[in-house]
């Protein structure tokens, strides 16, 4: 029995030594040994081979899978209500007018624009991560063997490796920020805090086999500014802090996340709100303005959507982030779904299930675009400014821009949305004289 334990300890020592030597130390120094690049190259070739095998093995053409980002299962008519209902030489209400609303209702039932943004993005080709999709059937023995090998590699090698790296990264973050937090406020403390955050974020990115391409680094957010980005996953913050330090803004949590928050806030001026404080919009705005007013503090990182949206769209930006003032630094984040699904559907999966899913994927590959800073123009209100920034991010990331509130992920549609359509229809009738005609007809009777 002692011999078995000695072998286990020996293997553990070799494992930890290799992890520290080949991954942790190079990532802490910001150096790449080319292992990730070689891994992605082999993975790309494997997926290309699998795609070719699927195409050759299919006896008859398979229906093409349409991605929810660009195409839907129905063809929508985007003609405005005013043009479709109102016709020349017609001013009265007609019973046929309700057909417009009936068709819109059927379209929403079959495929609405909101709920499909809270489901994972579909792929055109199989990425060897799952066999539950009915579009991918048994093709050949060789393809099945490759899939089985992939399962063994992901669960028996990559998963333990990633858990080890994540444990090292999180532990280093907690211990490092707690030690730095004991120092008096000074430029040395700020420098050490940034070193700890950057080092630990790089280790955590390696724990996801992350490959991130940063574009236009000359536009990186500066101190005293506000960085706003589209939100797909909780790892968005890690993706960005891998290339620079930010002051996080968010709700205080319990458990492991709460421990990390309480440790990091001692070393860095993060802004964490209690649940009761989040509802007080004026208090939140006041604390953020105080942070932005200090040009020596790190830029604030905010996700104005308020919830995770799948990798295809950008939904409504809450105006609170744009009422603070100061310079806005937009950032667009776009993940490559071929290697792994980064989207977190928090209403379906808890954080543990989500982390297990991304840690058993092939890799996390994404592009980050730093965009030129934007300021609020004269005469522009916070909502207009938010929409302008959102449009810029959507264009840069190749994402679909939607006006809907991401809060519809959990809440019911507000009555104000229904009333808005009713008001538009009534204004159209009044503008075209239908109401006047009906009133005159009633009086004559």
Average pLDDT of the chain is 79
Residue 441, pLDDT above cutoff 50: no
In the 8-state DSSP scheme, what is residue 22?
Answer: I
Q: Is the pLDDT of residue 369 over 90?
A: yes
Percent of the chain with pLDDT over 70: 77
**CA-only gyration radius of the chain, Å:** 26
- Residue 348, Cβ neighbours under 10 Å: how many? 11
More confident residue, 342 or 62: 342
Three-state SS across 184-243? CCCHHHHHHHHHHHHHHHHHHHHHCCEEEEEECHHHCCCCCCEEEECCCCCCHHHHHHCC
**What pLDDT sits at residue 372?**
94
d(CA 120, CA 192): 39
Q: Do 313 and 393 meet the contact criterion of CB atoms below 8 Å apart?
A: no
**Per-residue pLDDT tens over the stretch 387-420:** 999 999 999 999 988 887 777 666 676 677 677 7
Q: Which ranges constitute the DSSP H helices of 64-158?
A: 81-85, 98-110, 141-152
Burial class (CB in 10 A: 0-12, 13-18, 19+), 370: buried
Q: What is the pLDDT of residue 230?
A: 93
| Contact assessment for residue 261 and residue 252, using Cβ atoms and an 8 Å cutoff | yes
pLDDT digits (tens, 9 = 90+) for 221-230: 988 889 999 9
* CB-CB contact of 30 with 199 (8 Å): no
Backbone angles phi, psi at 331, to 5 degrees: -135, 130
Stronger pLDDT, 171 or 55, i.e. the higher one: 171
pLDDT grade for 37, boundaries at 50, 70 and 90: confident
When pLDDT is averaged across residues 100-115 and rounded to a whole number, the result is 68
Which segment of 81-90, 97-106, 112-121, 201-210 scores lowest on mean pLDDT? 81-90
C-beta separation of 305 from 318 below 8 A: yes
Distance separating alpha carbons of residues 221 and 329, to the nearest angstrom: 6
Lowest mean pLDDT among 64-68, 82-86, 164-168, 248-252: 64-68
Angle of helix 141-152 versus helix 35-57 axis, rounded to 10? 150
| 203-240 pLDDT, tens digit each | 999 888 888 999 999 999 988 889 999 999 889 989 99
Q: Over pLDDT 90: what percentage of the chain? A: 14
Residue 148 or residue 138, greater confidence: 148
**What is the per-residue pLDDT for 68?**
41
Q: Which of 50-59, 306-315, 368-377 tops mean pLDDT?
A: 368-377
The confidence score (pLDDT) of residue 295 equals 80
């Amino acid at each position: 029995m002692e011999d078995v334990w000695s072998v286990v300890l020996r293997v553990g020592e070799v494992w930890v030594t290799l992890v520290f030597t080949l991954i942790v130390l190079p990532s802490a120094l910001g150096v790449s040994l080319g292992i990730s690049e070689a891994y992605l190259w082999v993975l790309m070739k494997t997926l290309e081979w699998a795609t070719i095998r699927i195409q050759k093995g299919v006896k008859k053409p398979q229906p093409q899978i349409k991605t929810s980002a660009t195409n839907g299962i129905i063809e929508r008519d985007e003609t405005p209500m005013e043009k479709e209902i109102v016709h020349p030489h017609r001013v009265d209400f007609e019973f046929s007018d309700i057909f417009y609303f009936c068709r819109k209702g059927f379209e929403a039932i079959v495929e609405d624009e909101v709920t499909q943004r809270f489901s994972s993005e579909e792929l055109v080709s199989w990425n060897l991560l799952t066999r539950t999709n009915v579009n991918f059937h048994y093709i050949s023995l060789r393809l099945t063997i490759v899939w089985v090998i992939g399962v063994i590699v992901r669960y028996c090698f990559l998963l333990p490796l990633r858990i080890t790296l994540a444990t090292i990264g999180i532990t280093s973050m907690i211990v490092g920020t707690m030690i730095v937090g004991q120092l008096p406020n000074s430029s040395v403390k700020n420098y050490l805090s940034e070193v700890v955050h950057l080092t630990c974020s790089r280790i955590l990115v390696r724990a996801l086999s992350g490959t991130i391409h940063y574009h236009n680094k000359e536009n990186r957010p500066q101190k005293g500014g506000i960085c706003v980005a589209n939100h797909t996953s909780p790892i968005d913050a890690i993706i960005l802090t891998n290339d620079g330090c930010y002051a996080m803004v968010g709700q205080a949590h319990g458990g492991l996340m709460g421990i990390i928050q309480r440790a990091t806030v001692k070393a860095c001026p993060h802004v964490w709100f209690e649940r009761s404080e989040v509802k007080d919009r004026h208090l939140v705005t006041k604390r953020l303005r105080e942070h932005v007013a200090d040009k020596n503090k790190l830029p604030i990182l905010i996700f104005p959507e308020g919830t995770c949206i799948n990798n295809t769209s950008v939904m409504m930006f809450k105006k609170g982030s744009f009422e603070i003032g100061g310079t806005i630094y937009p950032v667009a984040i776009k993940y490559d779904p071929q290697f792994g699904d980064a989207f977190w559907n928090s209403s379906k999966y808890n954080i543990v299930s989500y982390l297990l899913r991304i840690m058993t994927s092939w890799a996390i590959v994404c592009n980050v675009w730093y965009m030129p800073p934007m300021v609020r123009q004269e005469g522009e209100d916070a909502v207009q400014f938010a929409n302008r920034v959102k449009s810029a991010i959507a264009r840069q990331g190749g994402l679909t821009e939607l006006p809907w509130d991401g809060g519809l992920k959990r809440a019911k549609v507000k009555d104000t949305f229904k009333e808005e359509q009713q008001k538009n229809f009534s204004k159209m009738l009044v503008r075209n004289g239908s109401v006047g005609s009906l009133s005159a007809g009633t009086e004559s009777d």
